[in-house]
A and B are shown apart, each in its own frame.
Chain A
């Protein structure tokens, strides 16, 4: 795929702006398409609540009218991964549930983001045993971690704002998609076997 010459594109846009003003136009807003897309994306996230455990109560609190995710344009839960942008993984993920989570993530269309909501999704939390996945980042890529058991609604909103700041500055990858976890070079940490 040919990479567009950004300087040539910018020069062409400048020329168009000058022509517009010469023809009598009196006001002009310039932006990059990427910035415009990112701006609209960050304020219109459809979220998929993957709620498995007690953090769900805190999710309901933050989604409800008191803390109100809607203020951040992130209030429309879609219960189909195909329609959603933000996968909120809320609660303990067991090994048996791991493939389900991976499937939901894979079904989401690009661009997509993942929030690890609560200690269990970040690291396994208090559960260090045979059943619990030690952090969902071993299964899918995570964009923002919100620790806490459960996290306060303020923490979730802080995480969301940090994610939005990231989305605003995102560059769309040249091949149009983000990396899957299978392609990432993750360090392998061997846990001691007793």
Chain B
């Protein structure tokens, strides 16, 4: 795999990474025939984001052909891997200046050391190389068909941005109300406290939209945070957003496309059913509502839940616990990644072994790095004094960050393995499962976070 992003496109790319970083903590990378895909999913699996960059977006786009078996994949597919979002975000940290400083960016795979390499060719001949450890993984997909949606809106990005600023920063969810007469955004409260909160409604003219195709009048509630993430991207690129949605509980999708450049898809879960709000009031309050109603809403909710989106892993990867860490070529690091946790015996065993080997390789390399110039993949070392001069803090900062990243990840992993941990938000509509159910049962309670569907029982 080898591709080069030209300087004029680097800003768009950086924006895309920033946008994805607002949703998920891991970045899934997959070079495909029709473009380079960058995906993420949030921790509660209620939001999915995908950027597909067209081969024409790049100066050069080369993905491994079938005979280059990069991974021990059954079907010799292109490499798929995931990296820590924070480490990738570090590379594209300064969106404002990146266009001016970076002339091109090369993304490649270093098979020898099992690293994903981001090489930034900057002005004045400075080359920054970021070697990122990755975890190979299976393809991440959101099972969602926007063609079946009853409602479709095409909105100018500016209008959406202006609509959203009326909500408070701490506002978590908003409701989109559509009918053939009006379209409006309202803020949504799980528990409304009239003394603290105020209700805000932004009414939009139908003519403000580029297109409105409303099949059914509906009110759908979704997370504002993810919408803001999407808008942070379209705000600068000024591309119209196509919103597909159906009834409450069914996912909604946002499509952004720029001909011959990129296509972005975001899938967001929506709260199931209006009645569902009943089941969200605290138990004490719920007792006052009629029992029938509650039951009806629950069954309704379950129904909705079962048929909604499903982010699927072709093969489960949750059990595969590995350390990821950003490794700067110039950073001399003594800290070791945690030992891999015991893995369930499966056909993935083989991979585990190879991963184990990768790790030890990494150690060796790390030990060597500071004084070995033979490493062709770390040109930064060659000019280290110069780098230090230019960015005196880069080493220590990154190292600290790495440490904290690793620590954070360890914590997260611990969190992850508590079975049945409910997602942070009660998006009950979502059901994420494993496409290979039999395999799912083998894995030690994979944290497919669907357990909360029956939370109210």
Say if A and B assemble together: no
Report B's interface with A, CB cutoff 8 A.
none
- Which residues of A are interface residues toward B (Cβ below 8 A)? none
